[in-house]
Amino acid sequence: MRDPYLQAMGIEQWVRREPHLHQSDVAEEKHDVPVKVLPAVAESSAEAVTPIPVMELSPTQSRQSHNVDGLDWSGLESRVSECRICDLHATRTHTVFGMGDRNADWMIIGEAPGADEDKQGEPFVGRAGELLTAMLQAMKLRREQVYITNILKCRPPQNRDPSQDEIRCCQPYLHRQIELLRPKVILAVGRIAAQSLLERDETMKAMRGQRFEYADTGIPVVVTYHPAYLLRSPTEKRKSWQDLQFALRRFAEQGGRS
């Protein structure tokens, strides 16, 4: 039964009406009628290939040591909380390190904290976070069972896209988190997360459904839409459900049990 999963993600369900029940149904009986009609949303930037701007490292950035090899979870978390390597430290309220089970099989990687996350210091706590929770629920996973983090640990002002430089500065933190967690599957949500993790510059369309691995670790990476994009384009939720099912298959291939 997949309907409860689709429902959990808020996917519109199409119901075939029984013909000739009521006169008032006659106008609709030729068609499958959506339970709820939602406005069509234009393709978002999630599908576009916007090059991430490249900047040179500032003197502050090149002065600071950035070796996190050998740090354990708490050492890494405190290093992140003190980080001043890129300019985002000046505008952040809190760093957002990540949260969840540090022995999880599943790692969910988003783009960067937004306003709510910056305020609370936790990833995916806003509306996009609610949808992410529903996506996990559709996969029979609870938030506490997975580990959730972002490419960037600080919020870019006005939620602008992260720059290449910011991504590069934050990359060792994420890499160490992946080393410590050694998840069975990484779910990259959104174009920026997917492109940064995989070091590719393809569209979401090109990356979805492909069998990627993170660096040379053998850890499968599955690409799906960012929940914020799905909030703007709910009709894409069906495709996202296909991605989640693909992720579950890759998880099973790794010996994971749902």
The alpha carbon of residue 79 and the mean position of all alpha carbons in its chain are separated, in whole angstroms, by 23
Q: Is 98 left (phi over 0), alpha (psi -120 to 50) or beta?
A: left
User: Helix 164-181 to helix 73-81 angle, to the nearest 10 degrees?
Assistant: 160
In the complex, the smallest distance separating the C-beta of residue 129 from ligand URA, rounded to whole angstroms, is: 6
**Judged by CB under 6 A, does residue 133 bind ligand URA?**
no
Q: Give, in degrees to the nearest 5, the angle at Cα 79 between 97 and 171.
A: 65
Q: Is 234 in the site for ligand URA (CB under 6 A)?
A: no
**Binding status of residue 136 toward ligand URA by CB under 6 A:** no
Q: Using the rule CB under 6 A, is 196 a contact of ligand URA? A: no
Question: Does residue number 87 form part of the binding site for ligand URA (CB under 6 A)?
Answer: no
Residue 128 binds ligand URA, judged by CB under 6 A: yes
- For residues 117 and 169, give the distance between their C-alpha atoms in angstroms, rounded to a whole number: 20
- Interface segment toward ligand URA; rule CB under 6 A; list 24-32, 42-50, 116-124, 246-254: 116-124
Structure tokens at 17: 């009406």
Q: Please say which residue, 123 or 234, places its beta carbon nearer to ligand URA.
A: 123
Is 110 a binding residue for ligand URA by CB under 6 A? The answer is yes
In whole angstroms, give the CA distance from residue 187 to residue 247: 7
List contacts with ligand URA (CB under 6 A): 110-114, 117, 123-124, 128, 150, 228
